[in-house]
Structure 1
Amino acid sequence: MEHTCIRKAMRRWQPWEVEVRRRPGGGGGGGGGGGCRCESGKRDIKGMCFLDMAAPFFSTPFQPYVYQSPQDAVIPFQILGGEAQVVQIMLKPQEKVIARPGSMCFMSGSIEMENVFLPENEVGVWHWLFGKSVTSIILRNSGTSEGYVGVAAPSLARILPIDMAMFGGELLCQPDAFLCSVNDVKVTDTAYHRVRNVTTSVEGFLRQKLSGQGLAFILGGGSVVQKNLEVGEVLSVDISCILAMTTTIDVQIKYNGPVRRTVFGGDNLVTATLTGPGMVFIQSLPFQRLSQRIAR
């Protein structure tokens, strides 16, 4: 089965910015079909092409969308599904995946799972007060041959592969955006160490900070839009719709009028004015907005 990729009118694209079309006469089913017909290109953060991160691979009635890393990737992976996705990561002997608790979906027989406490310098008293987990799970391939791990999103969300080296080694995210990582990725909840940040700084809203040079997977609700801001370019975004952004972006927090307007009028209370340079990922359906709609 053969496919073609249609690039969007954007400077860079990711799996969430790709349409897959079936060519006339293509066969059905199966995971062995032909790959993506686009040419791969690696660029810097100014004009990046994420084709080397994940590209359309094949589809079946049970897995309508499958995105796969290139064959020469250091850490091969596949992202399966549409709205509630699963990432399958291939692990060589002694390689490991660090994931959030409760996210493991399936694994091969050579994988061992261990629940460990987070380092003391990454855990504050506010973790306990806010009911946040102070543990993570380690999925390690203890066998002598390759194994695999399936890590699933805990809600209706898309899984985004992030090569930290392409973003300067740092990324600010919404709380609980982190799903799992391979190799050198450190996750820090910034606001829980300094309570004054909760209302006065962008770290009060984007409380999760990823740092390192490894491969991370984060979760975005609804559709995810990627914006690459040039120097001095300004973008206003609802604060809850900011999924992640680079630390080079300047952020100004704006409160939209009195609280009663938000409570009775349904207006967004807080918006963020972003000034480039840098990259921002915007989610159309934050989990808070979905939960509020369900509660009505």
Structure 2
Amino acid sequence: MHAEIVGTTLPVLEIRLDPGDDLVAEPAQLSWMRGPVRLNTKMMTAGAGGILGVFGRALAGGGLFMTEFTVEGGPGEVAFAARVPGTIHAVGVEPGHGMLIHRNGFLCATGGVELGIGFQQSLGAGIFGGNGFVLQRLTGRCTAWVELGGETVVKDLAPGEQIFVHPGHVGMFEERVGFEITTVPGVRNMLFGGDGLFLAVLTGPGRVWLQTLTLPGLAHALAPYFPQPPR
């Protein structure tokens, strides 16, 4: 297997598959393919051994169904384009060294990935479209590719060191990093319906990847250009 990330603002991940290689992604994520690529879409994959695992994966932002990609008789190629302007990162996942990523971050992974829900909390109707704040959990043994919005800023936290981040800018972090949501008083934010601003608190040791573009922020910037319904 050979992977290459092509492009800058809207990158695409191209992966060459050889016989014996396998890859897992959401069914709608495929952008193009060539060669003898075989697709097998099913529920019980990506670590889901039962219906509870399937629904947990779906709640985390994955699909009820996932597609496995293999090739027969020769090499093939599959490609996955970024959904928003940003960056694509390859991360190694091993037992005891999992990753937590934002709910729209999973692009694809090699066989052996286990995808589930890592964190969920309601933050009010004004943020994330009322869906609450959700993190996906990547475990197992695999190489995974994660999509982050905008530019990426990496922070290495020392033991006990903390960083306070708007939840939408949390892109990805090592599972060993402590994580919680807190409210910072003294900042009135009408989106949250009262005093206080929700921030994520990440505590080291470990590495944190922050994304500069959030989907709610992008939607807010584009909203004035959308046709308005008649009054």
Which TM bucket (shorter chain)?
Answer: 0.7 to 0.9
Tell me if structure 1 keeps the 8 A contact 2:179–2:200.
Answer: yes
- Quick check: 1:124 aligned with 2:52? no
- Alignment partner, residue 179 of structure 1: 107
- Alignment partner, residue 98 of structure 1: 24
Instruction: Report the structure, 1 or 2, having the larger strand content.
Output: 2
Question: Structure 1: how far apart are the matches of 2:135 and 2:184?
Answer: 21
- Alignment partner, residue 79 of structure 2: 150
Q: Which has the higher contact order (CA 8 A, sep 6+)?
A: 2
- Quick check: 1:134 aligned with 2:64? yes
Question: Structure 2: how far apart are the matches of 1:198 and 1:78?
Answer: 35
Question: Structure 2: how far apart are the matches of 1:232 and 1:244?
Answer: 18
Question: Structure 1: how far apart are the matches of 2:110 and 2:184?
Answer: 40
Matched AA of 2:55? G
Structure 1 unpaired stretches of 5+:
1-74, 192-196
Q: Given the alignment, which residue of 188, 195, 198 partners 2:121? A: 198
Aligned-residue offset at 1:251:
2.4
- Quick check: 1:276 aligned with 2:204? yes
Aligned-residue offset at 1:261:
2.3
Instruction: Name the CA shift for 1:258/1:293 in 2 (closer, same or farther; >3 Å).
Output: farther
Instruction: Name the CA shift for 1:113/1:208 in 2 (closer, same or farther; >3 Å).
Output: same
Instruction: Name the CA shift for 1:115/1:157 in 2 (closer, same or farther; >3 Å).
Output: farther
Instruction: Name the CA shift for 1:104/1:285 in 2 (closer, same or farther; >3 Å).
Output: same
- Identity over aligned residues, as a percent? 27
- Alignment partner, residue 41 of structure 2: 115
Tell me if structure 2 keeps the 8 A contact 1:78–1:87.
Answer: yes
Question: Structure 1: how far apart are the matches of 2:86 and 2:161?
Answer: 29
Q: Given the alignment, which residue of 2, 7, 12 partners 1:86? A: 12
Tell me if structure 1 keeps the 8 A contact 2:91–2:144.
Answer: yes
Q: SS where residue 84 of structure 1 aligns?
A: coil
Q: SS where residue 145 of structure 2 aligns?
A: strand
- Alignment partner, residue 166 of structure 2: 238
Question: Structure 2: how far apart are the matches of 1:227 and 1:217?
Answer: 19
Matched AA of 1:122? G
Q: Given the alignment, which residue of 149, 155, 178 partners 1:221? A: 149
Tell me if structure 2 keeps the 8 A contact 1:238–1:268.
Answer: no
| TM-score w.r.t. length of structure 1 | 0.63
- Alignment partner, residue 48 of structure 1: none
Question: Structure 2: how far apart are the matches of 1:234 and 1:286?
Answer: 21
Tell me if structure 1 keeps the 8 A contact 2:121–2:134.
Answer: no
Q: Given the alignment, which residue of 77, 83, 90 partners 2:3? A: 77
Q: SS where residue 207 of structure 1 aligns?
A: strand
Aligned-residue offset at 1:171:
0.8
- Quick check: 1:210 aligned with 2:135? no
Question: Structure 1: how far apart are the matches of 2:70 and 2:189?
Answer: 51
User: Number of residue pairs matched?
Assistant: 210
Aligned-residue offset at 1:222:
0.3
Matched AA of 1:287? L
CA RMSD for the aligned pairs? 2.9
Structure 2 unpaired stretches of 5+:
124-131, 225-231
Between Structure 1 and Structure 2, whose CA radius of gyration is higher?
1
